[in-house]
Structure 1
Amino acid sequence: MLVTLTSISGSPGVSTTGLGIALTADSRKLLYIEADPIGSSPTLAGYFHARRRHDRSIIQLVEPNRHGRIGPAFQHQIVRIGPFDPEEPTKAQGWFVPGLVNAAQTESMKSTWGPLGAHLALLSKQGGGDLLVDAGRLNLRSGHQDLIRHSDVIAIMLRPTRTAVAAVRAGLGPLQQHLENTKSPASIGLIVRGTEPYSAAETAAATGLDVIAVLPESPVHAQVFSEGASLSNWRRRRSSYLRAIDGTWQKIERFHETHQPVWIANSPYSSQPA
């Protein structure tokens, strides 16, 4: 399964959530890919405390893509993460591909987003494991929609505020139109960060999208992933945020099993994006 995390406005914690899922998912193999057009690697800068060189990156795929060699080049960009929990060293080991080094590289990536998305979709269907993409804030002018359209699930993160809901409603139409035009297999749902001022049910009703998961607001506990912070065993066990993160991948899987885009649901045929 290929899953994309994104947002439409604000900073609801896409990168923090993505890394948290990657380190806690009950999946035989989950690869996390940083694909935010803004650039930088939150994982290298935060979780690794900037102690690792940013010499592997999706930007290294641009030249190989011109020669039809994106597959072999992609394998060389993978970096090991973990473990997240020293008490369970066999559970929380992950792999990720760092994002762009800086925003100036966005233009160079335009012709590579689509082939990268196609390669990720192929990996997921050929037994290469599950893949989770951090697409950052949605920007249909950056070109990375050509990657996103290959997803099986697109999870839009937001806080349940009036402004965030309004932004999702405004940006959802162009995204849905693009997915339908390209015959994308992606179903769209919400990951809601926080429970105030509106409930998950109210947020779903206002946006017209089903909620995949709700994550409690817990800035201190979120720093485990965003900053590589340490928590005592007592605080780990009592953290509702960490428990919620731990169960999010299973909720994404259930969402995928029960949701299809309208164009697939209403058609006797189905196909992958060209």
Structure 2
Amino acid sequence: MLVMVASVSGAPGVSTAAVGVAALWPNTPGLLVEADPCGGVVAARFGVRQEPGLAALAAAARHGLPAVGPMRFVQVLPLGVHAVVGSGAADTCAGAVSVLASRPAALAGLAPVVVVDAGRLYPGSPAQGLLSRVDALVIVTAGDTEHLDHVDTRLAGLRVSVPTPQVGVAVVGKSAYEPQEVSGRLGVPVWAHLPTDRWGAAVLSGRLSGPAWTRTRLAQALRGLAATLAAHPQQQPSRAALEVVR
């Protein structure tokens, strides 16, 4: 399964959400692939090397090498998550993502579950080339009118590239709108509400550590999102499930 986590506006915590979904995937963690054309942050946040990583994977794919045996491209984050990290240099990342977008099997074949952090899907982003291969696209957005407007205007174009209805949103922080209102307006399900949780966010961005992080409100919400994606990515979680993570 190939899951893309992205935003269309601002910086609502896409990398944090992607790390959490990979870490908390049911039964076994997913493989995180940091494919943000604007540059990677995961290596710096967690204190691991930038290479081998996304650039090495793209170079292998460009030369027609088989997309198997992913360990040579992988770093292990302190959370125990295996990750193909992006370079901090935007031009290097953009070039690597462009190569992989033309060879999506190089990502899909890396592991049974691959979680792609695509950063912001701005118009013309190289990461949009991966959309035709993803099984689920999670749009992370703030819950205010401004950001929901941006999602609304971009969704039609994005859904052309993604097999419908496997597109949904994860709303970050407080919102004046109920999940049903957001879903009704956007025409896609609200798969999760990600609460403002500084402790959970600090662990998922490499600033804190400790085994208790999986009990934070943010971790609980991301675990629910991962379970929803793993089971029925086309379905909206129940209102009761959403209330648990508020």
State TM-score, norm by structure 2: 0.84
Matches within 5 A, 1:55-204: 55-69=51-65, 71=67, 74-82=70-78, 84=79, 93-109=80-96, 111-123=98-110, 128-179=111-162, 184=163, 187-204=166-183
Closer, same or farther in 2 for the Cα pair 1:71/1:20, shift >3 Å?
same
Provide, for residues 209-268 of structure 1, a one-character-per-residue CA deviation record: whole Å limited to 9, x for no partner: 1111111112343111113314695x874x322222232210222332649xxxxxxxxx
Runs of 5+ in structure 2 lacking a partner?
Answer: 237-246
Q: Is the 8 Å Cα contact of residues 189 and 235 (structure 2) preserved in structure 1?
A: no
SS of aligned partner of 2:167:
strand
Deviation digits for residues 152-207 of structure 1, max 9, x if unmatched? Answer: 0001011111011110011112212234xxxx477111111123222222221221
CA distance in 2 between counterparts of 1:236 and 1:74 reads 26
Q: Which residue of 2 aligns with 1:45?
A: 44
Shift of 1:110: 5.6
| Partner Cα separation in structure 2 for residue 27 and residue 115 of structure 1 | 31
* Identity fraction in percent: 28
For 1:120 and 1:35, locate their aligned partners in 2 and report how far apart those are by CA, in whole Å. Answer: 10
Distance in 1 (CA, whole Å) between partners of 2:199 and 2:230 is 27
The change in CA–CA distance for 1:23 and 1:236 in structure 2 (over 3 A counts) is: closer
Measured after TM superposition, the shift of residue 24 of structure 1 is 2.2
Report the 3-state secondary structure (helix = DSSP H, G, I; strand = E; otherwise coil) of the residue aligned with 1:256. coil
Matched residue of 1:149: which SS?
coil
Q: Give the distance between the partners of 2:224 and 2:61, measured in 1 at CA.
A: 36
Q: Is the 8 A contact 2:100 2:106 kept in 1?
A: no
SS in 1 for 2:193: strand
Q: From 197, 208, 222, give the equivalent of 1:229.
A: 208
**How has the CA–CA distance of structure 1 residues 138 and 236 changed in structure 2, closer, same or farther, with 3 Å as cutoff?**
closer
* Letter matched to residue 168 of structure 2: G
Task: Tell me how far 1:108 sits from its aligned partner.
Answer: 2.6
Q: Who wins on radius of gyration, i.e. which is larger?
A: 1
Structure 1: state its 5+ residue gaps.
85-92, 260-274
Q: Distance in 2 between matches of 1:107 and 1:97?
A: 15
- Structure 1, residues 51-101: CA drift from partner, whole Å, max 9, x if none? x3222221123433332115258541111224x4xxxxxxxx321100133
Inter-partner Cα distance in structure 2 for 1:244 and 1:210: 16
Distance 2:103 2:86 in 1: 13
